[in-house]
Structure 1
């Protein structure tokens, strides 16, 4: 509202608002059904444009985070189902303790998607060569 600090801009904006209200009132009194119909059409077109823009806009980070969360939830659910399935099989089988330990060791771990960057920390810098 910083633009309203200047008196001339205040009068110009106020005059435009008053003219708009007079025009709306005149249109409403002349043809009320037509006025309401035009307002409804404008509102429907505005809603249609809003939903189209929202649907076809570039995917936001929130959508990406939601997809990542759903993917992680599916993996977690699969892991829990596998663990519960393994537990029922282990309790029902008559294996010894050593065979159960071996089966735990043979499971493959999911690869961590990290890389190790080997630095040259042991090499001393020759600051005089710079």
Structure 2
């Protein structure tokens, strides 16, 4: 019953608002459009001010870190694909060969914890 009453009140308020907008538009269309434009501009200014001064979320920090890493990777790839000089090309190939041979996977730092596997729960105690 309470939900119907609030729905009726909201419906009446929406109808009154639409009638007010229609009356304002028919009385002076230029002033109505000017008011709408001012409301939109104020809304945009508030939106950009809030967005500018809002606290940075962790997602934004992660996004910035990702973009920074992408720029570094792109710069590294451009540096490799560029015109290498003789000294740099021999060093580059030697380091890649050394890395390929000596690279090992680091051991996973996981341990197995032995629990009470043999003991069964007494389900009647719940």
TM-score range, shorter chain: 0.5 to 0.7
**Is residue 13 of structure 2 the alignment partner of residue 16 of structure 1?**
yes
| Pairing 1:6–2:9 present | no
* 2:46 is aligned with 1:46: no
Unpaired stretches in structure 2, ≥5 consecutive residues: 99-126
Aligned match for 1:55, one of 28, 41, 52: 52
* TM-score (normalizing by structure 2): 0.58
CA deviation profile, 1:23-49 (whole Å, cap 9, x unmatched): 111111111111110011001100111
CA distance, structure 2, for counterparts of residue 92 and residue 27 of structure 1 = 76
One of 48, 63, 67 as aligned partner of 1:66: 63
What do you get for the CA RMSD once the two structures are aligned?
3.4
Deviates more, 1:62-71 or 1:27-36: 62-71
| C-alpha spacing 1:91/1:9, structure 2 compared with 1 (3 Å) | closer
Figure out how many residues of one structure are paired with residues of the other and give that number. 96
Structure 2 Cα separation of the partners of residues 58 and 16 of structure 1: 36
Shift of 1:6: 2.3
TM-score normalised over the length of structure 1: 0.56
Residues 13/88 of structure 1: CA separation in 2 closer, same or farther (3 Å cut): same
Any unmatched runs of 5+ in structure 1?
A: 94-99, 106-130
